[in-house]
Amino acid sequence: MDVKHLSITELHAAYTSRELSVEAVTSAYLDSITKRDGSLQAYLTVLGEAAMGQADALDERLRHGEQPIGLFGVPIAIKDNMCLAGTRTTAASKILDPYVAPYTATAVQKVADSGAVILGKTNLDEFAMGSSTENSAYQKTANPWDTTRVPGGSSGGSAVAVASQQALVALGSDTGGSIRQPASLCGVVGLKPTYGRVSRHGLIALSSSLDQIGPFARNVSDAFSVYQAIVGRDAYDATTTEEASVNRDVLTKGLAGLRVGFLEAAMLAGMDEEVKARVQEALALMEKAGAKIVPLKIPSAKLSLALYYVIVTSEVSSNLARYDGLRYGVAQSPVGSTFQKFTTANRSHGLGQEAQRRSILGTYTLSKGYADRYYNRAHELMDVVAQDFAAAFRDVDVLFGPTAPTVAFKLGEKFNDPLTMYLSDIFTVPANIANLPAISMPIGFAHQLPVGGQFMGPQFGEGQIFQAAAGYEAESGFTNLVADGLA
């Protein structure tokens, strides 16, 4: 038996019967990293020794009769923009190269408290800015289905770790699609919860008003288990809420009677025809299983991408201002310098091209002469988009459409064309702009590569999207896909 094929429920059964130890499972995943990550480059830091220590402590608890629940004994990977005390945390930026986090992010603490075994920290686009993970200052992560292609981004390392069985589950962060788009391109499940569900304390900020942490998994049930472990009010993030959690029984409710909205505009001209076909087939399957498909129009949704880049670049220019080489990170010699020259030199050497590009643009959109035209206007229009989506959810339970317009593209293909790269997030950003929960899951293949479909729900409607995703997964059989990335 390959233990890496087991789901969380199956692992727990094997722990309870003593068929498996946490040590054996952790060791199998660490072996997988040794074997596969040389070519895939998903991890920036592997915490082998610490993971084996955690596994040993969990086995001791099993020996004392503890029943495994939650994430007990679940090997997990963490995107390297979340702090873990005593561990190097880089956000894939050179400017944070020597940074060792002095505290642990709430979401990371919660998975650890739930019994997860932390295998390591995964690669990302620098400060989570990008859609291909090519903006990492350290390495380019390859898609395990075709190593000449990108894994998507910015949580590309976490998506690849899960898709290639280098972790059972992972945490990522999603500001405009950074969990869902790589999940789609790598053939795994990825969830962005409603903003406010999961604490951002200890998440290195990209865009504070949009960032949200969420899970990657190879099936909907495992994604639900991680989601349950990380949600809740946190005194260290005032934007978290007390909203009622979701009961696991939504996973078995099925599709019958579910009203599924379909945005016709979601089938863009220029979209990959094969991806379009998979979306139509998914809708047909849902209808056959008893769901009611409702065609919908939300005209303001098409503004989402423009709104997103105004908000994000503005907040980036503010959030990245702290990286000056004075309090932490990489710094030039201060000898004979002035404060302005010193901090400018540190930032110019330490920040990568996309971080600099967005800082420049954000400085412009926040500047005195243009803030009303861009930043303030974007906030007004975000509320309009949110209202229009809320109105749509009076007629449907969930919305369904493609996660990304194409399958995984070639490494380097869009790297020098930022606008084209930004367009790969066109279907994912509306959920961030309107603050909706959304989940991407495999719905088939095109050009021998995985295609993702996305369910969006109303604010705090994670129950509906988990119901739809689990229902579709059961009908379609597209679950537990594995690509090991080995030639």
Partner 1 sequence: MHLSDADIAHLGKLARLDLTASQRQLFAEQLSAVLDYLDQINQGDAAHVAAHVPRRTVTPYDLREDVAAVPSSVDLAAQAPHREGRLVASPPTT
Beta bridge partners of 443: none
What sign for the dihedral angle of Cα 3, 253, 402, 209? negative
Which residues have C-beta within 8 Å of that of residue 62, sequence separation ≥ 6? 15, 18, 21, 22, 68, 73
Within 8 A by CB and 6+ apart from 414, the residues are 131, 132, 420, 421, 424
Of 114, 178, 300, 440, which residue is the catalytic one? 178
Total residues found in the chain within this entry: 487
Catalytic, 79? Answer yes
Whether 214 and 227 have beta carbons less than 8 Å apart is answered as yes
Nearer to partner 1, 37 or 125 (CB): 125
Q: How far apart are CB 168 and partner 1 at their closest, in Å?
A: 31
142 or 385: whose CB is closer to partner 1?
Answer: 385
34 versus 348: smaller Cβ distance to partner 1: 348
The torsion angle over the Cα atoms of residues 327, 330, 333 and 339, rounded to 10 degrees, is -40
Give residue 61's identity as a one-letter amino acid code: R
Smallest distance, Å, CB 57 to partner 1? 22
Q: CA–CA separation, 327 vs 388, rounded Å?
A: 44
Question: Whole-angstrom Cα distance, residue 88 to residue 96?
Answer: 9
Residue of 176, 194, 485, 234 lying closest to 358 (CA atoms): 176
Q: Which is nearer to partner 1, 378 or 411 (CB)?
A: 378
- For partner 1, give the closer residue by CB, 67 or 387: 387
Active-site hit among 131, 136, 154, 158: 154
> Whose Cβ is closer to partner 1: residue 137's or residue 331's?
331
Confirm whether 136 is a catalytic residue: no
Q: Is residue 199 annotated as part of the catalytic site, yes or no?
A: no
State the minimum distance, in angstroms, from the CB of residue 386 to partner 1: 8
CB of 95 to partner 1, least distance (A): 11
Closest distance of CB 201 from partner 1, Å = 11
Q: How far is the CB of 390 from partner 1 (least distance, A)?
A: 9
CB atoms within 10 A of CB 303: 18
Residues that bind partner 1 (CB under 8 A): 98-100, 102-103, 235-236, 238-239, 299-300, 303, 305-307, 309-310, 317, 321, 324-331, 334, 337-345, 347-348, 351, 356-357, 359-365, 367, 373-374, 377-384, 386-387, 418-419, 422
Element (H, E) at 293: strand 292-296
H helices present in 133-219, as ranges: 156-163, 180-186
- The residue annotated as part of the active site, out of 4, 79, 121, 414, is 79
Catalytic residues: 79, 154, 178
